[in-house]
Amino acid sequence: MRIERIILQTVRLRLREPFRISSGETFHRRILLLTMETDAVAGRAECVAGESPNYSYETNETARWVLEAWLIPAVLGLDFQEPAEVAAVLDGAARGHSMAKAAIEMAAWDAAATARGESLARLLGGQRARVQAGVSIGLQPDLDTLFRRIQEFVDEGYLRVKLKIAPGRDVDMVAAVRSRFPDLPLTVDANAAYGVRDLDRLCKLDRLGLLLIEQPFSEDDLLLHAELQRRIDTPVCLDESITSPARCRGAIELRAGHMVNIKPGRVGGHAASLAIHDLCRDAGWPVWIGGMLESGIGRAHNVALASLPNVLLPGDTSASRRYWTRDIVCPEFALNDDGTVTVPTEPGIGVHVDEAFLKEIEETRREFTA
């Protein structure tokens, strides 16, 4: 397939409620969408970078600049048989900027699957028709609100609840939740908010029956994660630290945890995600698929990846209505009665974009032709 044209769009989606983590609060999501048109079919993806550099150094604007100046020119006119060929070209065009690269690379996977008439999940090697769905709850103003939100999601059927934590809003809060919901599969996510002085405090979470403690320390401090894992039985799960297969290999060698949250948009796309999945499988580390407030396009990519065999825990594959007042795909992703989300089976990402709605919320648009 030859890449003939690439379209970059920015849209603004409204969240049903503000989403608060240790590093900031989000009321809406400005999303950078990418459409890759080949001589045969089109593929779609999105860049997961946010508007501010609170999660990663990449933002909407840095990603758009790198895409326009370096990455898109590198692939326009490229003939490819396998999407991995696109990833190699992107790595040669720029260092870093994995979120920007992932937008092109994942669109190429969608195009490749569509051209072959098979689902993205099948092309990736997925083995499940449904994937277990979890839900992530941002920091809440008080315990009563938190209890109410948890109960709502339990009643909806979600199989795992993830709580965001931050210094001063951690052990006592989680203990209260565990007391109220003694059998609930529960995880916590710190988004790298803690440091070496917090080791003893984080160890107190070990008695609360958590499935995992996600990314307590800075992304570049694997040794501190390894120290915490030595002190506790609860698995430490790495998120922001896993930026590439090489980084994952290092984490495994250092025993810096025992689980990985794979976010394809963060690691550079599906080829890197598959490599990380296989490394963890071979090491006996379970993985799960995280989310970054994606629209239905990004969610479709994540759900396809979540069908892989070593994805052993419910991920952040929530229904569209968990986050959005209205999603850009139809039908929107929904939660099944058994707490799962159905893996699309139509060619490519397997969802249809609501083009009329997309036009309504479009802020910018630029086209690049070979």
Q: Is 164 a catalytic residue?
A: yes
Asked if 320 contacts 341 with a C-beta cutoff of 8 angstroms, the reply is: no
Is the bond preceding residue 235 a cis peptide, omega within 30 degrees? no
What is the C-alpha separation between 25 and 293, in angstroms, rounded? 12
Tokens standing for residue 139:
């920091």
Instruction: Give the span between the Cα atoms of 111 and 119, in whole angstroms.
Output: 10
How far is 117 from 173, CA to CA, in rounded Å? 49
d(CA 171, CA 165): 9
Are the C-beta atoms of residues 13 and 324 closer than 8 Å to each other?
A: yes
- Options 101, 162, 204, 263, the catalytic residue: 263
Here the tokens at position 67 are 């895409």
Which residue in the list 101, 162, 164, 204 is annotated as catalytic? 164
> Closest by alpha carbon to 111, among 6, 8, 244?
6
Integer Cα distance of 158 and 164 in angstroms: 17
Beta bridge partners of 6: 36, 368
Catalytic status, residue 204: no
Give the active site residues: 164, 263
